[in-house]
Structure 1
């Protein structure tokens, strides 16, 4: 039998202060990442493509009205010379395609090329701020747990703050593994700021104990797995959305279609489409087994708490719908006709199901999970 412990208000207040401090430092990290994108160099892929295009234009201009021919001086016997013309070899600009960029492992993205000192400096400052913000964020989640002596994910406020912490933590782990993912930083700090802003304003719930049914070791297992899965799904969703934009940009580039200069400059700072697509697929494939276990763990907990494994509760139903959507995506990736953009759309639909399962079901739908509170 679990006996509810009293709430330590001091630690609860410390948690609130640390979360707000983390938001401030995340804002500094966001500004530093923004400066990296604005002042940093373009990616190697874009620089190579632009240089090759310029080389082609220069060669064409040098033809001087005799496009397609080149003068060749021939030395004849007796010292005489004559000039012949032969067709100029066609210069085909080598567009760095999605596959070639990925296969060669080109390190692209804002600041990742390491050739622009100013952009790289802003990027390093942004990472330093992100690490500091994450430490404050982690402290806020930890003090929240200490204040109630239970896992700090018993309601939407606690789930949201922990979710953001895990997402940033996963990003920092990828950086520690020397993965070229610094391009996520701008989008990650933006979304984490929105997540914490929503949590501290709309979803905030004071530290309190939970109903007896939630006092179970399955709270540690089931909900923590759901948080980790959602955080990785989020990183994959960012990669998928950027892939769709970058793929459209590369398609237009290959077709020599004129594009808006500002939009082209933004797109040129992203990794190649193939790199983004591979990143999103690997993240989704990596965490899908954990999401499967999350659903199984929830069913086992439901048997212990409610006397049945599955009852088609709204939360259970949408968790299963999310599972089916991601399963369809992974299957589509293995099907020749559904690779690329079609599979990417499926991945975004699956992540939208995850978001609805969290926000929509918790706020707008009544079910057995409703007693956890907002």
Structure 2
């Protein structure tokens, strides 16, 4: 079937548009991140000053008697006045609430931009498929388009909760890096797929693996942020990295996001591996041949299973389990790039038309 160059051109234009909308969403989400950090700083500083004032007043009330009490009381009034001035220099509760509302509105803008980017991202994929008259999984450029698209959809659904939108910069940055690399170094013109991919198993297997892998990326990023939060506990952040991590949710929330998304990743990704084995039997006469991509995909699935098992095992529910999930993410990325591009195997055509 000849390629429709008009639709292929529209797909390329939509790709560039989606990329820049995501970039704008990243800028807005960073602004939101900074605003949230400022609100947290102001709130904590005000609480600290109020606690110091309360402590000073308690000490003054219990100190001495008679003239001593009067003297102490006078000193307290002076000291209390100084501290009250310091506290008054900070925003009051209403001002803090208003600043928080403004930050939430900016977070909502970022969320809206992300959804707009997703719509155009999906249009990029659909137009690419229509231009070639096939499912758009024929080369590594298209595969990255699909994986990042599913990952963005999964993240947008998870981050519907207002307090979780501060995680967007941590997701958008790697997604933009993947799209940039895919659209520059791995770009391929729309064309028919090689004969090995001309099978009804092709869209079934690749779409299932893509969905599982995309959700796994969100899970892995959440585990990375969980490890950062464990290193810089909420309310006790220190230094430069503490300032960077400050707006993030608590370690418990981040661990919950990683765990719940991994629960979805395991069966979907595993089903994709099984469907690939069924397709291999139909195409090559065997279910499993320890091809590099098959092997690394299986290892990735084992790592997700190991993470969920460790997460449910006493003594492993902390950083140990999270590191397994991060390793699964690293293995998936290794499989996506190194195995497809560098290693020669039966799946080497994934990087070519």
Equivalent position of 1:90 in the other structure: none
1:171 corresponds to 2:167: no
Distance 2:64 2:204 in 1: 77
Residue of 298, 316, 327 corresponding to 1:320? 298
Residue of 116, 127, 130 corresponding to 1:146? 130
Question: How far off is 1:51 after superposition?
Answer: 5.3
SS at 2:232 equivalent? helix
1:284 corresponds to 2:262: yes
Distance 2:263 2:99 in 1: 33
**CA deviation vs aligned residue, 1:23-52 (integer Å, no higher than 9, x gap):** 1111111111111112335577x7776555
Distance 1:114 1:238 in 2: 31
Equivalent position of 1:29 in the other structure: 25
**Higher helix proportion (structure 1 or 2):** 2
Question: How far off is 1:264 after superposition?
Answer: 3.3
Distance 1:128 1:358 in 2: 29
Equivalent position of 2:199 in the other structure: 216
Distance 1:231 1:120 in 2: 27
Question: How far off is 1:170 after superposition?
Answer: 1.5
When normalised by structure 1's length, the TM-score is: 0.79
Distance 1:245 1:175 in 2: 19
Question: Structure 1 pair 200/296, CA: closer, same or farther in 2 (3 Å)?
Answer: same
Question: How far off is 1:200 after superposition?
Answer: 1.0
Residue of 297, 300, 308 corresponding to 2:275? 297
Distance 2:5 2:263 in 1: 42
Question: Structure 1 pair 114/331, CA: closer, same or farther in 2 (3 Å)?
Answer: farther
Question: How far off is 1:63 after superposition?
Answer: 6.1
Question: How far off is 1:114 after superposition?
Answer: 8.4
User: Over the residues paired in the alignment, what is the CA RMSD in angstroms?
Assistant: 2.6
Structure 1: runs of 5 or more not aligned: 75-81, 84-112
Contact residue 234 and residue 246 of structure 2 kept, 8 A:
no
Residue of 238, 255, 279 corresponding to 1:259? 238
Question: How far off is 1:161 after superposition?
Answer: 0.9
Equivalent position of 1:58 in the other structure: 53
SS at 2:276 equivalent? helix
Distance 1:47 1:340 in 2: 30
Contact residue 306 and residue 324 of structure 2 kept, 8 A:
yes
Question: How far off is 1:118 after superposition?
Answer: 2.6
Count of aligned pairs between the two proteins: 324
**CA deviation vs aligned residue, 1:146-203 (integer Å, no higher than 9, x gap):** 0111111111100011111111112223345x47531232122222211111011101
SS at 2:62 equivalent? strand
Structure 2: runs of 5 or more not aligned: 71-96
Residue of 303, 310, 334 corresponding to 1:356? 334
Distance 2:146 2:65 in 1: 74
Question: How far off is 1:134 after superposition?
Answer: 1.4
When normalised by structure 2's length, the TM-score is: 0.84
Distance 2:288 2:52 in 1: 66
